Amino acid sequence: MTFDPRTMGMPVHEALAGLRALPNQEESQLKEQKNQAVELYTYLSTWGMLRLKAEEEALSQAGKKQVVKAFFKCLQTIAERSDLAGQEGLKTLKDMSTDDYLGLTGLALAIAQEFSFWATAVYHDIKGEA
């Protein structure tokens, strides 16, 4: 199999561009999206994927929640799994073997870096904190 470096960048860009293009969003929601996308890597490296997945349901800010859901959809697509996005994702992560979880965490960190990069491009005109 040939590795295409766009494998991670394209789905992430499409996810963020899709979120950005949703109708009827206020600037505060766009700021939440941008900030959450930039902060994913730090969150994952500090707290881990299991906690991020659990946090997905607890997030009250719509923009942040949208980004976390988009992140897990991208991870699911790139990892070629069907059980990471949605409510079954937490159980899937809890039930994984250690090796599978650690491998998926490495991929998740790489995807989180893509989210951070593409957030600055997609939300180039959004400044400040949410």
Higher pLDDT, 127 or 91: 91
Of 21, 19, 44, 65, nearest in space to 113 by CA: 44
Q: Return the pLDDT at 6.
A: 80
Tell me the C-alpha distance between 90 and 56, whole Å: 10
Return the CATH architecture of domain 29-122: Orthogonal Bundle (1.10)
Q: Is-contact 19 33, C-beta < 8 A?
A: yes
Domain positions in the chain are: 29-122
Tell me the C-alpha distance between 18 and 79, whole Å: 20
pLDDT above 70 for 3? no
Q: At what angle do helices 6-20 and 98-122 cross, to 10 degrees?
A: 60
- The residue with tokens 């960190």 is 109
pLDDT (tens digit, 9 = 90+) per residue, 22-60?
999 999 999 999 999 999 999 999 999 999 999 998 999
